[in-house]
Amino acid sequence: GRITDAMTAEELWQRQDNVPLLPASTNKTLTSAAALLALDREARVTTRVVAADQPGTIVLVGGGDPTLSAAPRGQDTWYHGAARISDLADQVRRNGVAPTAVQVDTSLFSGPTMAPGWDPADIDGGDIAPIQSVMLDAGRIQPATDESRRSLTPALDAGHALAAALGVDPQRVTIAGHPAPIGARQLAAVQSAPLVERLYEMMNVSDNVMAECIAREVAASMHRPLSFAGAVDAVINRLNTAHVDTSGATLQDSSGLSVFDRLTAKDLDGVVQAAAGPDQPSLRALLDLLPIAGGSGTLSDRFPDATPGFGPAGWLRAKTGSLTAINSLAGVVTDRTGRVLTFAFISNDAGPTGRTAIDALATALWSCGCIT
C-alpha cells in the first residue's frame, strides 16, 4: 500500500508499494485518467447505417458504442442517454429505403474479442461480453439489469434488432466480411452519451465493457490499434506523456478483469495523486468519478456502521477492485484535520480478510490521518 499528501505529493507511508500485484478493477482508474487527458469530455460515439454496394442491403457500422439499445423509447436501459435502434430504423425509413438484408460492420476493432486472462464463464456471470465495435446493451440479455447474463454475439444481436425494427428476415442478417464502402450513402446515425457521463457509469458500477470501449477511444486518439494491446499501450503512453508514472504496470486489458494484469500501489496512488494535486488540472474530474464511501456505486455498502458525523462515509472517494481472493482500493480522503490524502491498497490471496483490512486502513486515515 501507499499513502501520499495530495497537495505536495510527499510519500507518507508505504509497504511494498513497488510490488506488482493483481489490481482488479482499480485498473479502471488508469483508463479514466487517460481518457480525461486524451479526449474531449463531451465526445460522443457515432453508430451509422449506410447503403451497401448490393441493392437492398444496408450496413450497420459500429463506431465503438456498447450502449446502443433495442429498448423502445421511454423504456429504461442500463445506460442513461443510450442511443436507440428505433431511431436508426426511423431514419432509414425516412430516407425511403426498404432493406431486404442487414450486414454488421465490426471492422473498427481489431484483434481478439476476449482479453488474455478473461474467464469465458464471466459472460454468463454478467461481468463481460466479447468486445465488438457495435453491441446491444453491452451484451446484456436483460438490458436494464447490471449483472444480466451477457450474449456471445453482441454485434450480431444489434444487427438482428435493426432488422426486426425494419421488418427484415432475421436470416438475412450477417457480419460483414469487409468494411463498409468508403463514401457509402449514410442513411442513419445516432450518438452515445457524452464521454464524462459514460466515464461516470464506468467508474460508479465498475463497468468492464464500457472500460474496454473507452480505452479504444483513447487508442484511436493516439493512432494505436483499436485492440486490447493497442488500448493498453495508448492508456499507458498517455499517462506517461502527462508525467504520471506507470512503470510498474503490466496490463492485458483496460478493465482489470484479466488475471494477468499487474499494477503496483505506487502506480495507482500516483494516478489519484495527479488528479488531486495542483499540477494536472485536466485530471481533477477523475475525483468526481470515484464512488463515495457509504453513498454511491460500488462503495454504497461500504463503511455502513459509522455513526453520523463519525467515520469515512461521505469523506472518502475511491475506486474498488474485487476478484476471487483479490481486493483493492485507490482513492482520496479528507481526514479530520482537513488534510487531503491519496492512497492505494492492494491485497492478493487474502480473501475477505483483505477487504476488511483495507477498510480498516481507510477508516484510520479519515480518523487520524497519516502522521509521520
The grid coordinates listed for 264 are 503496483
Angstrom distance (rounded) from CA 337 to CA 268: 24
**Nearest of 187, 41, 38 to residue 103 by alpha carbon:** 187
| Cβ–Cβ under 8 Å, residues 299 and 2 | no
Q: Is residue 266 flagged as an active site residue?
A: no
- What phi, psi does 126 have (nearest 5°)? 90, 10
Q: Is residue 254 flagged as an active site residue?
A: no
Q: Is residue 227 flagged as an active site residue?
A: no
| Cβ–Cβ under 8 Å, residues 269 and 4 | yes
Distances (CA, A) of 93 to 156, 176, 301, 372: 21, 22, 47, 69
Please identify which of the residues 69, 151, 192, 206 carries the catalytic annotation. Answer: 206
Angstrom distance (rounded) from CA 17 to CA 346: 9
Angstrom distance (rounded) from CA 267 to CA 248: 6
- Known catalytic residues are 25, 28, 206
